[in-house]
Every structure is written in structure tokens, then in C-alpha cells.
Structure 1
């Protein structure tokens, strides 16, 4: 199915990103022009950052809880669900290892040193005590804090499962959680109207103080990320296609063109779902598998997000002049990126939650959040393409695990 897009359609799809990037560019130019005098605009940026910090905790609690509490009829997934989880995590780890190698060869923030204040603890999961503190808190009030994002997420998942297990009596709670989730998402949406002003002012102050070196590092990060996504699409996906169905599996990847174009135009894996379902049908993925894997994949299979997460982590390490080296650092980056790609992206506002998790888990100061949030907006189009088209590839791999290596030949012969 061929998709065409008018200029107005493209503008509607990219309007906010264009406006936001334009505001950041204008703010940066103001910073370059007026230097440290641009610091007068910093309070306008702080208003936006504080607003996001205030909303992120209740947003995490209600969106994750409502998503899990509303699930139903999961038992029938059986072997498909197990295979799905294996494929999602495996491809996420492959993507994570690839981007780790790339950012070590081409550090995205090389030569940048902003001398911003940060904490000493930058190695999560290093000791047993750190693991306990990373996963839990000792008192409920401590849970309601952006400083304890991972315990909050774990609590939200546990709460959502418990509501689900209550059954009929829990439906009233599900209804309330869904309503609250919509309310907080609406609040985020309203706050985002202020984002161009807030981030524009923030970058005017940041660039005014530290000059244009930060802007140059963003350009370097994009020059790393965009070619990587293109190479992943044309080199790694064929490998997965071959694993799934041999030469016929590789040839079937021609059906990814339409999902790729749709995802680039809409910047949404959900919006690409109908096109992906059609592509999977053309390839020969059985109906029950594609109707399970693709909807879940649209919210929980995010290799592009894994790429961007590690890019953001290594970028912050470079910005704060901290060596991005060591087994502990690499393992923690992989864990956070896969969690962001497989878990967080299935939640409304998941990108925001993942970025906040990166900042808090590594002990970076609040100023680090808008720095990587901007990267998130810049990498969104190619990241969405990898996420969305990767869902169909994942469905092929799941079919290989469930139905055996001859599945595509049997389907073609029917």
C-alpha cells in the first residue's frame, strides 16, 4: 500500500519539532550574540524545567499502573509471548552493543567541557547496597520523588499487576487510573506549549555562558546517529531477515519500505501499526503472531530508543568531562537503554521518563535533563523508523522461533 503525504500533512507531523528546534536555534543565537547577558533569560527556562520535574512523578505512577492494570487475557500468548520477549531483549542488546562501540570510537561530546556541577556517584549497580538503593526506598514518601525514579517505576508495575489480579473489583481503580493518566498527559501537553519559550530561553543562557561549543557537539551527535540508523536498517535488518527466513526472509524486507516512510512522516510507531500489519501479512507472518507481536512491538520494541539512550548517556559523560569507560559503566548503560527501549517506551511519556531516569541514576544535576531532552527531539525521526520497521522484523524472528525455520517457505507454497 503506497502512502502519499501532502506538504500540509508533513507540516502537521513535524510542526512541533520544527518549532521547538527553531526556538532552540533562536535562543542559541541570542546566547552567542549577547554572551553572559543572556543569563537574564534563565528563569524562563527554569520555569519549564521545574514544571516538567513536578509532573513527571505522578505521570510515571498513573501511566504505568493504568497500562498494566488494564491488560487482559494474557495467558493465551504462551510461547509467542516468551519468544517475543526473547527477541525484543536480544535485538535491544545487539543495538546497545553496536552504539557502545560507535560512541567509543566517535565520542559525541568530544572536546566539550561545560564544568557544570555534578555528584561523585556515577556508577550505578556497582555494589549490592547500590542495587538495593536503586531498586527500593525505605519509606513511601521517599517514593514520590524524581530522585527515586526506578523504585517508583517498580512500585507502579507492582501496583498495576495487583489491580489487575483483583479482577472485577479492580475495574473502578483502572477507570480512575486511566482518567488520571489522561489528566496528567493533558497537563504535559499544556506545558509543552511553553516548551519553545522555556527551552529557547534555557539555551540562550547556556550558550551565552559556554559559547557555541555545545551546539557543535549536537551536530557531532547527529552526524553519528543518523548514519548509524541508516546502516542498521540496511545491514543489520537483512541479518535478522536471514536468521528468520534465509534468503527469502532477506528478500521479504522489501515490504519494509512503506512502514519506513510512514514512520518517518508520522514519527509514531502506533500510527505505523496498520502499515506494519499489512507488510507482515505480505511477508507471510501468521495472523495470530502478527496481531500479537506488532501491537506490543509498537509500544515495547525500540532498538532506535536503545541507540538514542546510550548516545544520551555518553553525551552527558562527555559534556561533564567524565570518562565513558569501564565495565560497570557499559553494563549500567546497557541495562538502562534496554529498559528504556523495551519497558519505558510502551508508556505514554516514556521518552521523558527514560531521560529523567538517565539523569537521576547517574547523579547528574537537573541542568542535564534539557540537554538530553533536546537530543531526543533531534533523533526522533530516524529512531522511530528503526523502532517501527524493527517490529515487523521482530515478528519474523518470533515466527521463526514458534513455527520453525521452514515457516516462510511453507507460507509461500500455500
Structure 2
């Protein structure tokens, strides 16, 4: 029997990007506006589903790890936060070493002129989630650890059965009502960007900064896979190859959380156990943000340098450290990281309501997808390492402890 041809996710995403750009550039405005309206609705749908996704996957992941779950949580969060801070530090070093050579104040007027031309949806539907991402994450920690604790006492099977079935329900929703629609969502995003011309206007001025930031993203993620692969004995080249579909998906969605379903499949190809990948990947999507930190640090440095304001490391490190925590609320919406950063701009002397902040948002948003792609790629590098840490050290120590106590 002849095998039916099926177009893969990556070709669909590439086609969506190309068609989106062509639509925004050449087709009537109403066509782009219809696409933007659909993307707006789907964005609301994502915002509704994402907390449920975090609750289902993270709770189930912790509950499955009945031995050393609390320790695993601590190890994963510590690695993620350290990685985020390191990304910001490397970004500042790069910015301080290279950016002053080509940054000019004339760019301010040109970028401001290109901002604000995006199309609004024809109508919008407000779909509020039951709880926000941070609330879902905290509840998932508490609920998952509690179930794990009960199971260690021979109890908790009803709670575990509930979260297992809830996990299956959310997985089915993702498979039927999220992943298949992603190409259309990406189509609308790129059509709007092409119509406004903001991407091209900004890149024509900041193409050097853009290239340097993306280069640092790729170098940083590659280093993470090399370190992770060396530690686990896995081929880093194969790990990087397995990550391509997740990277491209993140480029289009501009959302770590929206890329979770694809990233889970990447982790499976890497040989990460189901319990670990269902725990680390959704958790990493909310707490591990090195790509976004690299981007926002470089963009903030750019604005400070343009206006002749202090931009030394002593000025930037408190900003980086705070954002490493604040950005846990960022996943789920394109540009979420820079929105999370706005309340903390006074730390570096920028008024959140000023034109400088608007300029920062414009510059960041055009590069957000690459930062998101670096974020989710780094999540898998962490998952590969944590998988070995858990089974080689945490579980082994827990079993040894139990044997000694018995």
C-alpha cells in the first residue's frame, strides 16, 4: 500500500512565514487584517490554555518523580536561573565591547517613525484564563509535591489518577486544537509585521546589533548542548539537530509556552525520560530565559548608549538579576519578556512611560522570536543534563537513604 504523503511541521511553518510576508506586502489591507484578527483570537486561546498546560504537565511531572521531587525542582530552577544570569552577563560584555563603535543617536527618530503602524484586529474576543502563568506554576509545584509526598506514604492514588487524566485531556487539546493551528497563527503574525514595515525599518538601522545578538544566542545554546552532551555522553551535534523543529516553531510563535508541545517531542528524540521531560520542559518555558535576557540586556544597553546614560556592569547587574525572576510571568505572549521588564526600567534610569521605553519595546520585539528560540533550545539542553542528574544522583541517594533507614 502506498504511503500517504504528509507535510511535516517545519515545512508548514516555513510556508506560513513566506506567505505571511507576501500577504502583508502585496495583498489588500483587509486580507492582512483578517489574518491579524484570527491571530488575535488564537493568542487569547493560547493565554487560556497555557496555565492549564503548565498545571497538567508540571504537576504530573513532579508527581511521577516520587523520589527526590523537591530536590529535582531545586536543581532545575537553580540551573535555569544561573543560565539566565550568565546569558545577561555575556550580553553586556558583548554590548560594551562592540556596540559603542556603531551606535548613533540619529537612529532614534527613524525607529520611532516606523513604530505604531501595525494593524489592529477587526474585532477581539476577551478570553480570560482561570489563573495566570505564575499562579499556575506555583500551584503546580505545591500540588505536584503534595501528590509525590502522598505516594511515598502509599496514598494519593485518587489525586494522581485525576492529574494523570487531566494531563491526557490537555495533551489531546494540544494535539487537536493548538499544534495544527500554529502555522495559521504564525501566518497572521508575519503578515502584520510585513504590513507595518517595522521589522525591515528597524533591521535596516540595527542590523549589526541584530546579527550580534542572534550570533550570541546560537553560540550560547550550542555551548549548552556541548556541555550537556559531554556530561551525559550524548552527541552534541545530534542534540542540536533534534532541536531544529522546536527552534523554528519558537521563531514563528514568539512564545516559549506555545512551543512546549513541539519541544517535548524534541526532548523525546534526545532520549530524555518521560517523567523528566514532562517536568523540565514546561518548567523551563517559564523560568529559563537566557535568550530573552541576552536580547533585552543588549537592547537596554543600546538605548542607554544612545542617550549617553550610565551602562556599566554595576548598573546593569541588578537589572539582570531582578529580570531573571520577573520574567517567569513572560511566557505565553509575544514580547512578554520586555513587558515584564517595564516596571524595572527605573533600575537603569529609564522611565517606563517615556519614548525611550517605547523605543526599547520596538527594538526588542523585532528580535523576540530569536530570543524565544534560544530559551526553548536551552530548556532541552538542561533536560538532557537533569535526566542524568536525577537518575544518577538524586534517586540513587534516596534509595541509599531508604536502605540505611530500613
* TM-score relative to the length of structure 2: 0.59
1:356 maps to what in 2? 336
Give 1:89 deviation, angstroms. 0.9
- Mapped to 1, the partners of 2:399 and 2:78 lie a distance apart of 22
Given that residues 47 and 333 in structure 2 are in contact (C-alpha distance below 8 angstroms), is that contact kept between their aligned partners in structure 1?
A: yes
Given that residues 218 and 375 in structure 1 are in contact (C-alpha distance below 8 angstroms), is that contact kept between their aligned partners in structure 2?
A: yes
1:237 maps to what in 2? 228
- Mapped to 2, the partners of 1:173 and 1:273 lie a distance apart of 21
1:153 maps to what in 2? 133
Corresponding position: 1:61 with 2:48: yes
1:220 maps to what in 2? 212
- Mapped to 2, the partners of 1:23 and 1:395 lie a distance apart of 39
**TM-aligned CA distance change 1:356 to 1:51, over 3 Å:** farther
**TM-aligned CA distance change 1:55 to 1:232, over 3 Å:** same
The number of equivalent residue pairs is: 327
Given that residues 99 and 307 in structure 1 are in contact (C-alpha distance below 8 angstroms), is that contact kept between their aligned partners in structure 2?
A: yes
Given that residues 217 and 371 in structure 2 are in contact (C-alpha distance below 8 angstroms), is that contact kept between their aligned partners in structure 1?
A: yes
Corresponding position: 1:271 with 2:254: no
Uncovered stretches (5+) of structure 2, i.e. residues with no partner: 113-125, 148-157, 248-261, 343-351, 401-406
Corresponding position: 1:403 with 2:396: yes
Secondary structure of 2:71's aligned partner: helix
* TM-score relative to the length of structure 1: 0.58
Given that residues 276 and 392 in structure 1 are in contact (C-alpha distance below 8 angstroms), is that contact kept between their aligned partners in structure 2?
A: yes
Give 1:159 deviation, angstroms. 8.4
Q: How does 1:311-322 map to 2 (within 5 A)?
A: 311-318=294-301, 320-321=303-304
- Mapped to 2, the partners of 1:109 and 1:44 lie a distance apart of 39
Given that residues 264 and 381 in structure 1 are in contact (C-alpha distance below 8 angstroms), is that contact kept between their aligned partners in structure 2?
A: no
Corresponding position: 1:97 with 2:89: no
Given that residues 87 and 294 in structure 2 are in contact (C-alpha distance below 8 angstroms), is that contact kept between their aligned partners in structure 1?
A: yes
**TM-aligned CA distance change 1:195 to 1:301, over 3 Å:** closer
- Mapped to 2, the partners of 1:261 and 1:73 lie a distance apart of 25
1:16 maps to what in 2? 13
2:280 maps to what in 1? 297
Secondary structure of 2:335's aligned partner: helix
The range that moved more, 63-72 or 155-164, is: 155-164
Give 1:66 deviation, angstroms. 5.2
**TM-aligned CA distance change 1:305 to 1:114, over 3 Å:** farther
- Mapped to 1, the partners of 2:68 and 2:374 lie a distance apart of 28
Uncovered stretches (5+) of structure 1, i.e. residues with no partner: 1-7, 31-37, 118-143, 242-249, 281-289, 345-349, 408-414
